Amino acid sequence: MNKRTIVDAILDFPKRNSHAVAVQFKKQKKWQTKSWLEYYQDINHFGSALLQQGFKKGEKAAIMSNTRYEWSVADAGILCCGGVTVPVYSNSTATEIEYIINHSEAKVLIIENDNGLRVWNQIRSHCLKIEKIILMEARQTLPEDSHNWSDFLEIGQKTLEKEPNFLVDQARQVQLSDMATIVYTSGTTGLPKGVVYTHTQIVSEVSEAFPLCGVTEKDISLSFLPYAHVLGRIEHWGHQWIGFSMAYAESIDQIRSNLKEIKPTILVSVPRIFEKIYSALWAQMENQKIKAKAFDWALQIGLKVGEHKLTRSQVPLKLLGEYILADRLILSKVREAFGGRLKFCISGGAPLSANVALFFHACGVLILEGYGLTETTAAVCVNTPFNYKFGSVGRPIGDAEIKIADDGEILVKSKKVMKEYYKDSQATSQVLHEGWFATGDIGEILQGGDLKITDRKKDLIKTAGGKYVAPQKLESLVKTFPLISQVLIHGDQKKYIVALVTLDRSQVENIAKENSWSFENWQDLTQKHEIYEAVRRIIAETNSQLASFETIKKFLILPAEFSIENGDLTPSLKVKRKHLDQKYKKEIDSLYE
């Protein structure tokens, strides 16, 4: 294994093509760039300021911010001090933030803006270990114990004028065995657990996963996943380790426009983003019947060519000619929606529908699904551009070993597996046994060594008839229809399976226009007979692909989508099943009456 830490890679920034673009970000509606040298200088200033203010090796600093350039600088500066970064989702509740800050014993808190400062003011009297606040941007008058971003960097700059190696000397003492970060699992129930990574876990992941997929310093990514989520963080560390350029998206809402501006060659995402783009593309087609017919013609050709790619067989000459025409006229437009230069996308964090993956593959957009958890430092398996199977999550990465327990649970052994749950030896001992981590996922190893995930062990539904049903499988099938936004499957200890569904607003509005309905009341729209019938047909089509015991017998259309803000989804967009079971208990019970 590589003996270098991520800090060693950061110290080498000036040795790279120092004037090449390392990062890009929007400021005042214009893209700004930072070279590797400028990037390194900002990190050096930030880390030096931390040390000058009394921050010591092993101490914790929490970052509460959306994904942005300053996040990367702060994290790198903390690590160069030998410190431990504690990421906090900016949209977490005050209670969750207070718990994480206190449980991690953070001494420093880095806040993005006034919104974060308002939350901090609600809990500061309960977080007595925090000694220093740093504001990335703020319009309010700062508290006495606070620094704004530019002033804090200036402290570091002045310190370095007196002692040029002030931070470097400390950074060179960082070892692979040193704690680097505590990533708190967002969790679908209960309090979050703090997953501890040393530099060993980080280096094992970034030094093996990215090169395996063919990522080089010539690539560029558009980063938008939250860095409090391990997948986003690995992209950020991978960029620092390998040296590919990275642009920070303005927001989730601006991804589609940012893709066209940045034209990334790689994209790291969660399935929900691909599902939204998929639905939007079909929505456009349904508004233009002639184009829809042409698009379907091109797609069918793309799917046939895709089959040859998957089987690595030669494309017949006649089909190749048709594909060239279909691609030039239609399919290439889908690639242009991603900027037109994508080599591949990496999808993780939740299962990706095989139908969605096949659709984009037919259009020339390769989505490589991987598998891992917060506890495994993201991916331990991944498909690659040279070996991919839709419906699988690829083969083990590097030193990762995979085996299936007698009950079907996936077990992992690797240097990528966390050191422990912070201050929770009991929870650690429940999942780590003789070096093997019990993932809680159910899966099987396919012929050839690829891993296939079938469901979460604790999410499996056992019907009253004793049959086991995997809810994620059903949810994934239903969500492939553009009208459907989200799905929640129920049926544990019940006679049959039911579903709660939410609808895609743009699709419903299109149907409303066709029927000249009023847009005044969204809830009324979702309860229209025509909408119900459209969903009924979708459920019927889904059921045609299922065994009788797992078919959806009844469904209910909910008036609002699940959201992070309402506590329905984790920040990584996973459904909080137990929360929703309680929230919609009356609705679920009504489906069994």
Provide the greatest CA pair distance for the chain.
76
Nearest-angstrom CA–CA distance, 275 and 367: 12
The HSE-up count of residue 184 (CA atoms within 13 Å, CB side) is 26
- The sheet with strand 367-373 has its strands ordered as 30-35, 21-27, 245-248, 220-223, 266-269, 344-347, 367-373, 378-382, 395-396
Torsion, Cα 212 218 222 227, to 10 degrees, reads: 60
pLDDT for res 139: 74
pLDDT for res 186: 64
| Stretches in the chain below the pLDDT threshold 70 | 1-2, 186-190, 286-287, 519-521, 572
DSSP string, 472-535: HHHHHHHTTSTTEEEEEEE-TTSSSEEEEEEE-HHHHHHHHHHTT---S-HHHHHT-HHHHHHH
pLDDT for res 282: 79
Q: Tell me whether residue 466 is exposed, middle or buried, using C-beta atoms within 10 angstroms of its C-beta: 0 to 12, 13 to 18, 19 or more.
A: exposed
Yes or no: say if 365 and 334 are a contact pair by the CB < 8 Å rule: yes
| Strands 146-148 vs 108-111: parallel, antiparallel or unpaired | unpaired
pLDDT for res 289: 74
pLDDT for res 325: 96
Q: Determine the 3-state secondary structure of 241 from DSSP.
A: helix
- CA–chain centroid gap for 469, Å, is 26
The residue extents of the domains of the chain are 6-174+213-250, 271-457, 460-590
Query: Which of 477, 474, 526, 469 lies closest to 495, judged by CA?
Result: 469
Residue 48: CB atoms within 10 A of its CB come to 27
Nearest-angstrom CA–CA distance, 124 and 76: 26
Query: Per-residue pLDDT tens for 4-19?
Result: 999 999 999 999 987 7
| Residue in this structure with the two tokens 């056992």, named with its chain if needed | 462
Right CATH for 6-174+213-250 from 1.20.1440.230, 3.40.50.12780, 3.40.50.2000, 3.30.559.10: 3.40.50.12780
pLDDT for res 188: 47
Q: Name the DSSP class of 343.
A: S
Query: Which of 134, 84, 144, 137 lies closest to 115, judged by CA?
Result: 137
Judge whether 6-174+213-250 and 460-590 match in fold.
no
Torsion, Cα 179 181 187 192, to 10 degrees, reads: 70
Right CATH for 271-457 from 3.90.1150.10, 3.40.50.970, 3.40.50.12780, 3.10.440.10: 3.40.50.12780
Nearest-angstrom CA–CA distance, 344 and 216: 13
Query: Which of 40, 45, 46 lies closest to 19, judged by CA?
Result: 40
pLDDT for res 294: 92
Right CATH for 460-590 from 3.90.1200.10, 3.40.50.410, 3.40.50.300, 3.30.300.30: 3.30.300.30
pLDDT for res 38: 96
pLDDT for res 271: 87
| Strands 245-248 vs 220-223: parallel, antiparallel or unpaired | parallel
pLDDT for res 237: 98
Beta bridge partners of 31: 26
| Strands 395-396 vs 378-382: parallel, antiparallel or unpaired | antiparallel
Q: Determine the 3-state secondary structure of 551 from DSSP.
A: coil
pLDDT for res 457: 74
Nearest-angstrom CA–CA distance, 454 and 465: 20
* Predicted TM-score (pTM) of this structure: 0.84
Alpha-carbon distances, residue 232 vs 89, 112, 239, 347, 349 (angstroms):
12, 17, 11, 11, 10
